[in-house]
Amino acid sequence: MMLLAGAVAAAAPAFAQAEDATTIDEVVVTAQRRAQNILEVPISITSYSQAVMDAQGIRQIDDIARLTPSLRFARTSGVSGNNGANISIRGIASDVGAATTAIYIDDTPVMIRSVGYFSGNPYPKIFDLERVEVLRGPQGTLFGAGAEGGAVRFLTPQPKFGKPEAYVRAELATTKNGSESGEFGAALGGAINDTVAFRASASVRRDGGYVDLIGPSGTNSTVLNKDINWQNTKTARLAVTWKPIEALSLTPSVYYQEVRSGGRDQLWEGFSDLGSADYVAGPALPEPERDRFTLSALKAQYDFGNISLISNTSYFDRSNAKDLNYLTFQTFLRSGSEFGTYNNKDPNNSATLLNTGQKNLIQEVRLQSYAPGQALEWTLGAYYSNTKQDFQNLTGSSLRPGVLSRGVQQYLGRYNLYEGVAAREKQYAGFGTLDWHVNDKLKLTAGARYTEVKFDFTDTRDGPVNSGRRTVSTAQTSESSFTPKVGLQYDLDDHKMVYASASKGFRPGGGQLPVDPTFCAADLATLGISASPLGFESDSLWSYELGSKGVVGGGKLQFDVNAYYVKWKNIQQSIRLPRCSFSYVDNLGEATGKGVDLQLAFTPTAGVTLGLNVGYNNTSFDEDILGGNGLVLREEGDKIGGPAWTGSAYVAAERPVTETMTAYGRADYSYQSKGYSPNPNAFGYDPGLPALASSGELSLRAGVRFDKVDLSAFVDNALNSHAALSRSNDGVGSLLYYRETYRPRTIGVTALYRY
């Protein structure tokens, strides 16, 4: 199937886009591990090129989720929310256990298991990326057990032989009631000689804070420090390709990223002036965070004519350290009020230190054919991963050092809890896919992956929360999965096709930390149990999809539409204990998901494009799920995942001003509907936490583009929306609410240079 030449505006956030306003360029993706035109791939995909991301001001994963249908990115809030985030596709949402959405940097999966206090996945800050691909639906055949709901792939530019390339970006901005932001980055690539090429980049960025610090007592609203939630980011990457012979290429690379922040983005709802974007919070002690990783990789490729042997060896090393403050949480548990009093209270001993280490060793080998015009195309591969996660938690007691806590000595004289977690996982997999071009219109696809997963988990605890004893808990799981996929594709003509597919997704089980049986005794007794489970089983799903994509009207309309039906079994979900505010993982029955994704780009006239990206999802439990004593954990019809509707709309226009200058402008509006209301009959229901209201954000950008230079001005969150993106408290009955919302209105300028 071929693309029509036509008019489409630059940098549309869609499935196909061009970098100028006169042609529809072929958008190439590697969703099936080979380079293909996006309109020929029978998968629901959104792809963002570097030019697209620049035009829309995409700088982080939040921006991608805001604009992509059926992709949801939700940060956790609350004192004990630990500043993590949950990502899901098409309602396959779970903030516990192994990931439901695969996160890849090139060919390396980097998502993290939720063990210990979830620190969140690592995500590349978006500077020198070739593109980002969002693949909706199970992708287990090619991307493994973590891709149960889909995958998000961050793809870096590879060294190229030929003329030199350069990319430079600088940005300055100011935020309402916040401090200034700025960025500078540069990338350079090209051939050193006939056999060696390189790509190098580096960037620095500061995102100014907009949450002010007030006193922690609840009565002191005096601003003690301004803009505490600043963030500084550094990135650097180097890749070199050596071709000793024409058929062989070797590409070693290293990518480094460090993010430091002064505090969390969450605000204290009752103390902030939301309408004026005057946001405040009152942690008793600073809450800095440092998150850094290094990804080292070696890709080797040998081409045997129409067959390629590809090996990817990579090592991902991440270190995350953060300080959190639990004073209001602990005060609520001890006194019934976040600002109450109790014996020996000491706010200066309320710091909680969390350290997470993540190390992933990945080896994948693929043998694949790519011969357009031939009847058969195939891929065979083998995969091995050895991942390690280590976690340490020292929870400050919020008591005077040295005094007794719960009648026992504090750990090291000042901590309520020490916890050390060591989680080890090994995966072995073999996979294959086969595309059979029955004729010039019909293609049949079959694929499968067989995976063995071995998981070991050790948890060491000590301190008053563990009754003053040192305990060691262990769990081991070993399981296998078979994840097939079948599909067909029929080309209606050279510009339109329909497809249907059925695919299986899988998520391995694992171990977990036990909740303290003394501290949470009342909650456990209500459920009719004396201890929480130390492990949980795998879950799986089948997804059935019918879709169509292509271009019509002489190239004026591009479309990608699909409908899907999902059956999700043995679902890993969190059981929240409302009195002690801890939780554990259990397998909770089955659910059914139904939804639609729609992407349209319409060019009514040369230089103008209108776009619409919409996702609808309804995923709900199929039956009542009862805990001990007959308590309702979930009822039939209870929803899973975020709001029913997500998406964005945009208008982009450009017009030549002179022979060397083009003026352009665009507006993007993202939207999500009201969240699903929690079930008042379910265990742990909190009437103070109703469904989140609908929300939206408007961004504007206008500028001029020359041959190699692009200058623009932008306004993000132009309407200064303060809708809650997440909201929580310290427990049922708590009156202090924590909220995360959009960054207040931000105005800035961007300068780009491309060669």
Query: Residue 343 contacts by C-beta under 8 Å, 6 or more apart in sequence?
Result: none
- Whole-number percent of the chain with pLDDT over 90: 70
User: DSSP states of 603-672 as a string?
Assistant: EEETTEEEEEEEEEEEEEESS-EE-GGG-EEE-TT-EESS-SEEEEEEEEEEEESSSS-EEEEEEEEEEE
Q: Looking at residue 674, what DSSP letter applies?
A: P
| Degrees, nearest 5: CA angle 168-172-178 | 145
Asked whether the predicted pLDDT for residue 45 surpasses 90, the reply is yes
Name the average pLDDT for the chain.
90
Q: Please report the pLDDT score of residue 233 as a whole number.
A: 97
CB 543 within 8 A of CB 566: yes
CB 559 within 8 A of CB 547: no
Q: Pick the most confident of 129-133, 236-240, 417-421.
A: 236-240
Give me the domains of the chain, ranges plus CATH numbers: 28-754 (2.40.170.20)
CB 726 within 8 A of CB 76: yes
How is residue 280 written in tokens? Answer: 């405040």
Q: Please report the pLDDT score of residue 626 as a whole number.
A: 87
Any idea which of 74-78, 329-333, 446-450, 678-682 has the lowest mean pLDDT? 74-78
Residue 692 confidence class, pLDDT cut points 50, 70, 90: very high
Any idea which of 13-22, 45-54, 473-482 has the lowest mean pLDDT? 13-22
Q: Please report the pLDDT score of residue 83 as a whole number.
A: 55
Q: List, for residues 376-393, the tens digit of each pLDDT value.
A: 999 999 999 999 999 999
User: DSSP states of 79-92 as a string?
Assistant: TTSTT-EEEEETT-
Q: Please report the pLDDT score of residue 161 as a whole number.
A: 93
Asked whether the predicted pLDDT for residue 565 surpasses 90, the reply is yes
Asked whether the predicted pLDDT for residue 17 surpasses 60, the reply is no
Mean pLDDT over residues 635-661, rounded?
93
Half-sphere exposure of 210 (CA within 13 A, CB side): 27
Half-sphere exposure of 188 (CA within 13 A, CB side): 2
C-alpha distances out from residue 6 to 48, 241, 653, Å: 20, 36, 15
Asked whether the predicted pLDDT for residue 120 surpasses 50, the reply is yes
Q: Please report the pLDDT score of residue 609 as a whole number.
A: 95
Residue 457 confidence class, pLDDT cut points 50, 70, 90: confident
CB 544 within 8 A of CB 605: no
Q: Please report the pLDDT score of residue 78 as a whole number.
A: 67
How is residue 433 written in tokens? Answer: 């896919």
Claim: this prediction has a pTM higher than 0.75:
yes
Mean pLDDT over residues 141-150, rounded?
89
Asked whether the predicted pLDDT for residue 4 surpasses 90, the reply is no
User: DSSP states of 288-357 as a string?
Assistant: -EEEEEEEEEEEEEEEETTEEEEEEEEEEEEEEEEEEE-HHHHHHHHHSSTT---TTB-GGG-EEEEEEE
Asked whether the predicted pLDDT for residue 397 surpasses 70, the reply is yes
Tell me the C-alpha distance between 640 and 464, whole Å: 36
Q: Please report the pLDDT score of residue 533 as a whole number.
A: 85
Asked whether the predicted pLDDT for residue 34 surpasses 90, the reply is no
Of 12, 75, 73, which is closest to residue 46 (Cα–Cα)?
Answer: 12
Any idea which of 517-521, 592-596, 611-615 has the lowest mean pLDDT? 517-521
Q: Please report the pLDDT score of residue 2 as a whole number.
A: 32
Q: List, for residues 321-356, the tens digit of each pLDDT value.
A: 999 999 999 999 899 999 999 999 999 999 999 999
Mean pLDDT over residues 251-275, rounded?
95
Tell me the C-alpha distance between 584 and 456, whole Å: 18
Q: Please report the pLDDT score of residue 315 as a whole number.
A: 98
Beta bridge partners of 322: 289, 354
Residue 577 confidence class, pLDDT cut points 50, 70, 90: confident
Tell me the C-alpha distance between 654 and 432, whole Å: 45
- Whole-number percent of the chain with pLDDT over 70: 95
Residue 701 confidence class, pLDDT cut points 50, 70, 90: very high
Asked whether the predicted pLDDT for residue 82 surpasses 60, the reply is no
Asked whether the predicted pLDDT for residue 420 surpasses 50, the reply is yes
Residue 117 confidence class, pLDDT cut points 50, 70, 90: low
CB atoms within 10 A of CB 51: 18
Q: Please report the pLDDT score of residue 217 as a whole number.
A: 74
Higher pLDDT, 533 or 558: 558
Q: Please report the pLDDT score of residue 116 as a whole number.
A: 61
Residue type, 222: T
Distance of CA 361 to the CA centre of its chain: 21
Asked whether the predicted pLDDT for residue 368 surpasses 50, the reply is yes
Q: Please report the pLDDT score of residue 10 as a whole number.
A: 35
Q: Please report the pLDDT score of residue 531 as a whole number.
A: 85
* 3-class SS of residue 204: strand
Residue 373 confidence class, pLDDT cut points 50, 70, 90: confident
